[in-house]
Structure 1
Amino acid sequence: MRVAMVTGPGRTDVVEVPTPTVGARDVLVKIRACGICGSDALYIAIGGLRDGHTPLGHEPAGEVSQVGNDVTDISVGDHVVVNPMVAPSGIIGNGGASGALADYLLIEDAVRGESLEIIPDHIPFEVAALNEPMAVARHGVNQCRPIPSDKVVVFGAGPIGLGATIAFKSLGIAHVAVADLVTTRLEKALSVGADAVVNVADEDLVRRLIELHGPGESMYPGKAGTDIYFDAAGAPSVINTALSAAKRGARLGIVAVHKEPVPVDFLSIMTNEITVVGSMGYPDEIFEVTRDIVADWEKYALIVSHTVAFDDVDEALRLASTPGAADKVVVTFP
Structure 2
Amino acid sequence: MATMKSVQTGTAGQIAVVDVERPRPGPKDVLVRIRACGICGTDVTFLRMGGMPARAHLGGALVPVALGHEPAGEIVEVGAGVTGLKAGDRVVVNPQDAPTGIIGCGGRYGGMSEYLLIENAVPGRSVAVFPDTVPFDVASLNEPMAVALHCVNRSGAQPSEKVAVFGAGPIGLGAAIWLKLRGVAHVTVVDVLPDRLRTALAVGADAVINSAEEDAAARLTELHGQSANALGRPRPGTDVYIDAAGAAAVFDTVVGAAKWGARLVMVAVQKKSAEIDLGGMLRSELTLIASQGYPTEIFEVTPQLIEHHARFARLISHRVPVTEADHAFELALTPGAAEKVVVTFDA
Give the TM interval when normalised to the shorter protein. Answer: over 0.9
* Residue equivalent to 2:13: 10
1:94 to 96, 102, 105: 105
1:129 to 140, 145, 160: 140
1:197 aligns with 2:208: yes
The answer as to whether partners of 1:249 and 1:275 remain within 8 angstroms in 2 is: yes
The answer for unaligned runs of 5 or more in structure 2 is 55-61
The answer as to whether partners of 1:229 and 1:242 remain within 8 angstroms in 2 is: yes
Residues 47 and 201 (structure 1), Cα distance of their counterparts in 2 relative to 1, 3 Å cut? closer
CA distance in 2 between counterparts of 1:38 and 1:311 reads: 21
CA distance in 2 between counterparts of 1:271 and 1:331 reads: 47
- Listed as ranges, the matches of 1:114-263 within 5 Å are 114-218=125-229, 219-263=231-275
Task: Name the SS of the counterpart of 1:16 in structure 2.
Answer: strand
CA distance in 1 between counterparts of 2:330 and 2:115 reads: 23
Q: Alpha-carbon deviation of 1:52?
A: 4.3
CA distance in 1 between counterparts of 2:201 and 2:289 reads: 26
Amino acid at match of 1:249: G
Q: Alpha-carbon deviation of 1:7?
A: 3.5
Amino acid at match of 2:263: R
CA distance in 2 between counterparts of 1:85 and 1:189 reads: 29
The answer as to whether partners of 1:7 and 1:52 remain within 8 angstroms in 2 is: no
CA distance in 2 between counterparts of 1:10 and 1:186 reads: 29
Amino acid at match of 1:12: I
* Residue equivalent to 1:34: 37
* Residue equivalent to 1:330: 342
Q: Alpha-carbon deviation of 1:271?
A: 2.4
* Residue equivalent to 2:49: 46
The answer as to whether partners of 1:119 and 1:294 remain within 8 angstroms in 2 is: yes
Amino acid at match of 1:71: V
CA distance in 1 between counterparts of 2:274 and 2:301 reads: 31
1:274 aligns with 2:277: no
Task: Name the SS of the counterpart of 1:176 in structure 2.
Answer: strand
Task: Name the SS of the counterpart of 1:226 in structure 2.
Answer: coil
| 1:275-298: CA deviation from partner (whole Å, max 9, x where unpaired) | 001111111111111122111111
Amino acid at match of 2:271: K
* Residue equivalent to 1:284: 296
CA distance in 2 between counterparts of 1:293 and 1:11 reads: 32
CA distance in 2 between counterparts of 1:203 and 1:19 reads: 53
2:89 to 78, 94, 106: 78
* Residue equivalent to 1:298: 310
| 1:124-180: CA deviation from partner (whole Å, max 9, x where unpaired) | 111111111111111111111111111000011111110000011111111101111
Task: Name the SS of the counterpart of 2:235 in structure 1.
Answer: coil
Question: Could you state the TM-score of these two structures normalised by the residue count of structure 1?
Answer: 0.97
The answer for unaligned runs of 5 or more in structure 1 is none
Q: CA RMSD in A?
A: 1.3
Q: Alpha-carbon deviation of 1:268?
A: 2.1
CA distance in 2 between counterparts of 1:188 and 1:34 reads: 21
**Residues 315-324 or 51-60, more deviating:** 51-60
Q: Alpha-carbon deviation of 1:229?
A: 0.6
Residues 278 and 262 (structure 1), Cα distance of their counterparts in 2 relative to 1, 3 Å cut? farther
Amino acid at match of 1:41: V
- Listed as ranges, the matches of 1:95-114 within 5 Å are 95-114=106-125
CA distance in 2 between counterparts of 1:11 and 1:138 reads: 31
Task: Name the SS of the counterpart of 2:152 in structure 1.
Answer: helix
CA distance in 2 between counterparts of 1:14 and 1:173 reads: 44
| 1:305-324: CA deviation from partner (whole Å, max 9, x where unpaired) | 00110111111111111112
Amino acid at match of 2:293: G
Question: Could you state the TM-score of these two structures normalised by the residue count of structure 2?
Answer: 0.93
Residues 207 and 53 (structure 1), Cα distance of their counterparts in 2 relative to 1, 3 Å cut? closer
The answer as to whether partners of 2:247 and 2:273 remain within 8 angstroms in 1 is: no
